[in-house]
Each structure stands twice: as C-alpha cells, then as structure tokens.
Structure 1
Amino acid sequence: MSTPSLSVLDLVPVRTDQSTADALAASLSLARVADGAGYRRYWVAEHHNMPAVAATNPPVLMGLIASATSRIRVGSGGVMLPNHAPLVVAEQVALLEAAFPGRVDLGIGRAPGTDPLKATPGAASAADVWLLGSSDYSARLAAAKGLPYVFAHHFSGQGTAEALETYRREFRPSEHLDAPRTFLTVNAVVADTEEEARRLALPNQLMMLALRTGQPLAPQLLVEEAEAVELPAQHRELVDKMAARWVVGDPGQAASALAGLAASYDVDEVMLHPVAGAYAGTDPRSAPTREATLRLAADWVLAGR
C-alpha cells in the first residue's frame, strides 16, 4: 500500500477544565505541531450551540492558525453558507489568501445557488474551493460543478464508498478541476499503547453519544470523568459501533489502519481529526495527547518509521 499524505481537521474542543481562550491556545499549539510534522493542510470546522466545541467561525480561526504557522495549508471544513452572506465569505477568504498566498482552502457546506459575486480584496491568487457533505446529494453536486469533494467520514462513517463512487462516476471537468479530487476524514487517537489510546478516545465518544441520542451537550469530559460514567447496554453498543470506524491504537496499528483506509477508498490523502481526551491535571492551555496523536502518526506514516 502507498503512503498517504496526512492532514488535520480541528473542531477546537473545549474540555471541562478549559475556557474558550484555553481551547484556542491548545489548538494553536496543535497547529504548530502539524506544521512542523509535515501535515499537508489544517482545516477548522463550523459548529454552533455546542459547549464542547469552540470552532464557530472558520475565517477567524484560519487567520489565527495561518499566523501561527509557516507552511501548512489552512482551510475551513467547512463554512456553512446558509449562515453567511456569500459576499462576506468571499471577501474574508480573499483577504486570507492575500495575506497567506497559496496556503488557503475554502471548504463549504450546503451551498445554495447564488448570483456570481466578486470579492474586492486583491489577492494575487485564489483559494482552493472544496465542497463538503455527508450524502449522495453533495457528491452529485460536487461532480456536477466540477469541484473537489470531501465526504464527512469522521462524522457519518456510513455511505462513504457509495458517495465517493458517485462523485467519481458523475464528475464533469470544469474550469476549477479537470479530474475528481477527494480525500478522507477520520477520527483518530494514537498513543504509545492500544490500551491508552482506547482510554483517550472515551471522552469524545461520550460527546458523540450525547449528540446522537439528544442528550444535553456540555464541555468534553476529562479521561477520568469519562471513565466514571456508567452507560446502559444500548448506549455501550452504540459507542462501540462508532468506535469501530475510528483509528484508535498504537502507532503501528494506526499506520496500518490509515494506509488501509487510503487504499480502500482510493485516496492519496487522509485528514485526521485528533480526538484524544486529556487527563486530569493537564495544562488547560494545552492538548498534549492530541499533539501526540499527530506526532506519532507523522512518525509512522510520513517518516516511514
């Protein structure tokens, strides 16, 4: 199996021991790790009304992250266009591209049809535009428009192969792209041992469980807090089912899983969403286990250790 390139998706998680400022500081540190370790791109999401997530405004975060790094591409995964005036998004991204030429990606979700717009900031180059989705509709739209496409495998985990096959089969070349272009996103926790990785995955698994079952959303638990939660059997089964689609393990296991995913879905890039939790006593302005996930994955996948 060939070695895939690696990228990062960041929701800027907020733990029970963190303020929003702490979470942002931790993500900026994470971005520097990704920049130094050879990751291709660093994307931030847009989510609202979720106390466990501080990624609410991708363009603002993109500016912060681009300023804190030197070479990695920075983008949105993605900007949800129903929440924004398209002209404002175009101007924000054009300003970022002007400031950081050749380093900006614009991932957009659920894009409505709009009149052609012209953003006034004078960037000398254009940001790459990606269409994001988790359904066949988004795959068909990206194919029809001739845009790069990313399926939300990290969130859905189902229908990935079908969506990518639809996108590739129905793709029509455009002024933006002459052939299909896509990559895969996946939740990942990499640690020195499989046992530790599974412990570190639990806080995020419980957050996803709350989201899927309509429970009140709260900041992400610390590892020790998560381990004290007793789950009913039906919820334990749901957590296990979700976890089966994640990359959780020691470096060798993770490298094998990532290469397998790239081969299975015929992509040359895998975007990691590092979801490792934190232990009690961790500096609130840091996320050392998320940083370790990126470092270990890079050591074993990119450096071929």
Structure 2
Amino acid sequence: MILVTGASGNVGTALLTRLRADGVPARAAYRDPRATARTITSGGRAVTLDLAVPETIGPALDGIETVFLIGATGPDQAKHEVNMLDAARAAGVRVVKLSVWRADEGLTPIARLHQPVEQSLVASGLPWTILRPNFYLQNFLRQPSIREAGQFGFPLITAPISFVDVADVARVAARVLTADGHDGCVYDLTGPKALTYAEAAEKFSGVLGRPVRYVGLPDDEARTAMLSRGMPEFHVDALIGVARAYRDGGAETVTSTVADLTGRAPLGFADFVRQNRDVFA
C-alpha cells in the first residue's frame, strides 16, 4: 500500500488518479478530515494526517510500504517533512520525495525548504527516491488575464525554462512507486523543450488564434500584484526569490527522464494549451 501525502495538491491529485487507473492500492492523506470523509464515502482509501502533528503520522503508516512525501509549502515545511521521515524510519517504509529543481544547491527560498529534507532522507538509512521537477505548466492556469486581457504576468525571467506538466510528474511518480530499481536515484523532470515566457506567449497566440503577450514584472510590482490577489507574503517572497535565481538562466536544461521512465514523451507547451483551451480561450 502507498501513502500519498499532499493528496489535495496538483501532483497528489494527479498521482492518485494515475494509481487508481493502474489498480494500485493507495491511501490518500489529507489534513482536512472533511476531505478524508468525502474520499472514504466515495469508496476510496483515506486518512487524516497533519505533518505538523507527529502523533497523527504513525497511525497513517499502518500497513504502508511506501510513502510519497510532499508537505505544504511554508516556513515550517522542512520540519514537517522530517517528522514524516522520523516516523518512516520507525516503521521501516520506503520514501519517494517530491522536491524541486536544483534543490540540492539551495538556490531559491523554495529549494532551501527541500534541501535539508533531501539531506535527511539520504542519511536516514531508508530506501529512497527523489523527484526534482522544473517549473509546472499548471502555473499558467492561475493566470485568468490570459483569457480576460490576452496577457500574463510573472516576475521577470528572460531565460528559457523547461516547463513540465503535473501529469507527467505524476506518471513518473507512479512508475517509481511501483517498480524496482529506483532506490537511491534522483530524477530531474522537465518538459520536451525550454521556452522563454515570450516564446510561451507565442505558443498561446498560435493555439488560441489571438494575440497573447507576456508582461515581465519588476520585483516590486510583482510583489504588489501577488499580495493584492491575497497570496501569503511568504509565498510571494519565495516566488520572487525563484525568479531572481533563474532570471538569466539555470532552468533551461531539458532531460529525457520522463520518456525514459514512462515510455512516453512529456507534454509540450502547445499541447498543454490545447488541453486547457476552455480555461484560456
């Protein structure tokens, strides 16, 4: 049995869908007991688990062989994920950790949340695998201005980025969780091509048949805009830190990992736009 933490998030939701489609027994872990109840009522397996409360972790691991680990992004994320590692060590279960691009280098505030967890996992003595996806394509789904005004704005990054689809991350995770030969491996996950935001805007324009442009916001303007949308200050500052780290390069590498592990090429940018035309058009 696989325990999927972060079950309500983008990757967790996609992973559970993939595992169920493959007939793999999986237990979804939610912080909200109402989500747990809804899943159980609909015939699924679920448990209420709060990584900030170690007492809830042990019972959630009952009967579990492998944990898919991802905590909620926040200042205490590393501490909370290490709580799971401590419980996993006591239970002797395998851990597959969802991390972020170049987490081992600690280049960004988000990477620095994951870096100590990766280090603790490697030193734990447990069988482990680490997944490091690049920027998610799904970040564009949070840009209603593409539909409303024919533009999207992010903190300024001029260099290319090898965006990856969440569904491809989930397919890799499902493979790693259910097959042998991945212990002690770190996998960098990307899409098939690196694009600048300006090139991404051209892809939107081509698929949607109308002009779409990228507005690269200076850090102070980006911060004000994100705060005005109600984003927590911690998340805003973290995203600006990511933009600063990769503004002039560092996220353009393309790997073949998705295709190598799943036998299927990762989703390209134009196909992502086509799949989500109802959101963008």
Shared fold (TM-score greater than 0.5)?
no
**Larger helix proportion of the pair:** 2
Q: TM-score, normalised by structure 2?
A: 0.31
Q: Report 1 or 2 for greater relative contact order, CA contacts < 8 Å, sequence distance ≥ 6.
A: 1
Give me the TM-score of the superposition, normalised by structure 1: 0.29
